[in-house]
Homo-oligomer: A and B are copies of this chain.
Amino acid sequence: MFFSSDNWAGAHPLIAESLVKEASGYAAAYGTSDLDKRIEARFNEIFQREVAVYFVGTGTAANSLALASIAKPGGVTFCHSEAHVTADECGAPEFLTGACRLFTVEGPNGKLEPEGLKAAIGRFPPGAVHQGRPMAVTLTQATESGTVYSLAEIEAIGAVARDANLPLHMDGARFANAIVALQTTAADMTWKRGVDILSFGGTKNGCWCAEAIIFMKPEMATEMPFIRKRSAQLFSKTRFISAQLEAYLEGGLWLDLARHANDMADRLRSGIRAAGKSRLAWDTQSNEVFAVLTKDAAAEAQEKGAKFYEWPVPRETPDLLDENETLIRLVTSFATTPDEVDRFVAVL
Residue of B nearest to A24 (CB): B10
Q: Determine whether A227 belongs to the interface, using a CB cutoff of 8 Å to chain B.
A: yes
List, in ascending order, chain B residues with CB within 8 A of A56's CB. Answer: 232
| Total identical chains | 4
Q: A17-B20, A92-B231, A129-B226 are in contact. List 8 more A-B contacts (CB 8 A).
A: A7-B29, A8-B29, A58-B233, A59-B236, A73-B223, A88-B131, A95-B98, A98-B98
Binary interface encoding of chain A residues 1-26 relative to chain B, with 1 for a CB under 8 A from any of its CBs, else 0: 01011011111110111011011111
List, in ascending order, chain B residues with CB within 8 A of A335's CB. Answer: 24, 26
Q: Which of B27, B129, B232 contacts A57 (CB 8 A)?
A: B232
Q: Determine whether A148 belongs to the interface, using a CB cutoff of 8 Å to chain B.
A: no
List, in ascending order, chain B residues with CB within 8 A of A203's CB. Answer: 236-237
A-B contact pairs, 22 of them (CB 8 A): A7-B237, A10-B26, A10-B237, A16-B19, A19-B20, A24-B335, A57-B233, A72-B226, A73-B91, A74-B90, A74-B227, A87-B130, A89-B230, A91-B99, A94-B99, A94-B100, A123-B312, A129-B229, A130-B229, A208-B240, A209-B235, A232-B233
Q: Determine whether A28 belongs to the interface, using a CB cutoff of 8 Å to chain B.
A: yes
Q: Which residues of A contact B (CB under 8 A)?
A: 2, 4-5, 7-13, 15-17, 19-20, 22-30, 56-61, 64-65, 68, 72-76, 87-92, 94-96, 98-102, 123, 129-133, 203-204, 208-209, 223, 225-237, 239-240, 307, 312, 335
List, in ascending order, chain B residues with CB within 8 A of A133's CB. Answer: 226
CA–CA, A60 and B61, complex, Å: 15
9 nearest A-B pairs in the assembled complex, by CB-CB distance: A74-B226, A61-B232, A7-B236, A208-B240, A90-B229, A98-B98, A16-B23, A95-B99, A2-B26
